[in-house]
Every structure is written in C-alpha cells, then in structure tokens.
Structure 1
Amino acid sequence: MRFGVREFELALMHRMRDLNPLRVEQALADLDATRAELRAAHTHWTRLAHSATAPKGRAALRMALGPPPYAGTAEFGSLTCDVARWRLPSWPELEFEALTGPGGEVWNLWFVRPGGGRTVSFADLTPWGCVVADVAAGFPGSAQGEGSAPHHWAVDFTHDGTPRRALFVYGLYQRLA
C-alpha cells in the first residue's frame, strides 16, 4: 500500500473517530472509503512510525504529503520551532501544521487556519468547522489543555455563564464535552 495524502487523511480520521464517529462516517462516504481502508491507513501509519527504517518526523510527513507549501519558523518564548504546513483536500480551508525541533522530531501536529484564528460564536461550533485558535479568539479567557488521548486537545470556556469544554483532535473541533 502506497501511503499518500488520501491514506494520511484516513489515518487522521481514525483518531477523530474517538470523539466524532458520525462525522468520520460521513467523511468516509464522501471519500468513497471503507472502514477497512480507515483501519488499514491507521495501521500502516503506525507501522511506519515504529519502523527502524522508515522516515521519521517531518521526513515522514514529507513522504506522505510531499514538500510543504509553507515552511518557516515560529518562536515560542526562547524556543524556535520549524513550521511546515500542508493543505489537505478534506479540509480545504485549513492547513495541517507540523512543529518540529532541531533534529526534525515532531513536537506538535494540528490543523490551523491560514492567517490565524477567526472569531467564532457558540453557533459556529460545528464539527470540523473550527480550530483551537478560533475558539480561543471567540471566547476570551478560554484555557487550552491536553485532551484524554494522543493528539486530543481541549479548550475550556464560558458561554452564557455556563462552563463548556470544546474537544479537538489534531486541533480540529469535534464536539462539546
């Protein structure tokens, strides 16, 4: 099995299925893909990640997605990371971002909105419709944190006086807790 953009998207969706199985089923139908393909893509990506001979870090992403259309650096305090971003067909308004360290090891993978977050309202919280930065921009005082599994993320915020928790996978909104 060749591992390209379609397989990479399916591998991402495998993890998204943890929090939003109905949205993933809809996406599989849109892609004319099966659950077996989803599982196979996830298995293949996992095998590559643990292989002694397969590319690692940003090189693995480049193998699957090609050269990044955007490459640069970002500073977080005294830390400088390399940044690479790709557009994926299933999420055309977003970019998939990899932050890597000096040795090319991946420190973070997630979806971002080109140009930064946009301010969203509570009604805008639709699955796969916004990213972490959008919710942070739309709800001042929100707090970001890790989720319950690898590549899961959470943003706590208040809406109409009620505490809420938005759940994300790879930085892409899935649902409210």
Structure 2
Amino acid sequence: MRFRVREFELALMHRMRDLNAGRVEDALAVMGASRAEVRAAHTHWTRLAHAARAPKGAAVFRMALGPPRHAGPRAFGSLTCDVHRWALPSWPGLEFEVLTGPGGEVWNQWFVRPGGAVRLGFANLTPWACVVADVGTSFPDAVPLEGQAPHHWAVEFTHAGTAYRARFVYGLYQRLDRRVGGPAG
C-alpha cells in the first residue's frame, strides 16, 4: 500500500470514528473508501511510527503528505520547536500541524486554523469545522483537558447555564456532550 494523503486522512478517521462514527461513515462514502481501507491505513501508519528504518519526526509526514504548506520555528517560552502544516482535502480551511522538538521528535500533531482561532457562536459548533483553539476563544470559561485516548482532547465550558464538554480528535471538533455535575472549571 502506498501511503499518501488519502491514506493519511483514512488513518486519522480511524481514530475519529471513536467519537463521531456517523461523520466518518459519511466522509468514507464521499471518498469511495471502505472500512477495510481505514483499518489498513491505520495499521500501515502505526507500523511506520514504530519501524526502526521508517522516517522519523516531520520526515514521515513529508513522505506521506509532501512538502508542508508552512514550515518554521515557533517559540514557547524558552523552548523553540519547528512547526510544519499541511492542508488536507477532507478538512478545507484547516491545516494539520506537527510540532517537532530540537531533536526532531514529534511533540504534537493536530488540526489548527491558519491565521489563528475564530470566535464562534454556540450554534456554530460544527463537527469537523472547529478546532480546540476556536472553542477556547469562543467561551470565556473554557478549560482544555486531555482526552481519554491517544490524540483525544476535550474542552469544558458553560453556555446558557449548562455545562458542556466539547470532544476533539487530533484537535478537530467531533461532538458536544452535556456534563453532569455542574459548571466547567
């Protein structure tokens, strides 16, 4: 199996199916892809991540996605990392960002909005159209949290007196759950 943009998208969708299986099924229909292709792409990507002779760091992403649309340094306090971003056809208006450390190791990988977060109304929380930073910017009491699986994140916030947890995979919004137990925080 060649591993290019389509296969990379399918590998991402494998994890997204954890939280939004319906949206993934719709995307697979549009792509003309099968569940077997999703499993095969995920397996291939996982093998690449652990193979001794496979490219490491940003190089494995360049192998699959080609040259990044953007590459450059970014300072986080006293640390500087390299940022690499690619546009992917299934998520227009967003880019997949990979942050690598001084030794080339991947520190983070997720979707971002080029140019920064946008402020959204509650009704505009649309699966696959928002990223973690959008929700954080849109709700003043937003609290980011780690998710319950690899590449999962959550943001808790309140709206109109109701507590919510927005769930993300690779930083891409998947679904909104009402929280039991009061306001976020």
TM-score normalised to structure 2 length: 0.94
Aligned to 1:121: 121
CA distance in 2, matches of 1:105, 1:34: 32
CA distance in 1, matches of 2:13, 2:56: 21
- TM-superposed CA distance for 1:110, in Å, is 0.5
SS of the counterpart of 1:67?
Answer: coil
SS of the counterpart of 2:61?
Answer: helix
CA distance in 1, matches of 2:64, 2:23: 24
* 1:84-163 alignment, distance < 5 Å: 84-163=84-163
- TM-superposed CA distance for 1:176, in Å, is 1.2
SS of the counterpart of 1:61?
Answer: helix
SS of the counterpart of 2:93?
Answer: strand
TM-score normalised to structure 1 length: 0.98
In the comparison of the two structures, how many residue pairs are matched?
177
* 1:73-92 alignment, distance < 5 Å: 73-92=73-92
CA distance in 1, matches of 2:109, 2:77: 19
Which residue type is aligned with residue 41 of structure 2? A
- TM-superposed CA distance for 1:121, in Å, is 1.1
- TM-superposed CA distance for 1:141, in Å, is 2.2
Most deviating of 18-27 and 72-81: 72-81
- TM-superposed CA distance for 1:119, in Å, is 0.3
CA distance in 2, matches of 1:74, 1:140: 25
Aligned to 1:21: 21
User: 1:72-116 CA distances to partner (integer Å, 9 max, x unpaired)?
Assistant: 121222111110000000011100000110111101000000100
Aligned to 1:54: 54
Aligned to 2:71: 71
CA RMSD of aligned residues (A): 0.7
- TM-superposed CA distance for 1:147, in Å, is 0.3
CA distance in 1, matches of 2:78, 2:143: 22
SS of the counterpart of 1:13?
Answer: helix
Most deviating of 110-119 and 66-75: 66-75
CA distance in 1, matches of 2:59, 2:168: 25
**Matched residues, percent identical?**
74
Which residue type is aligned with residue 81 of structure 2? C
Q: Which runs of 5+ in 2 are unaligned?
A: 178-185
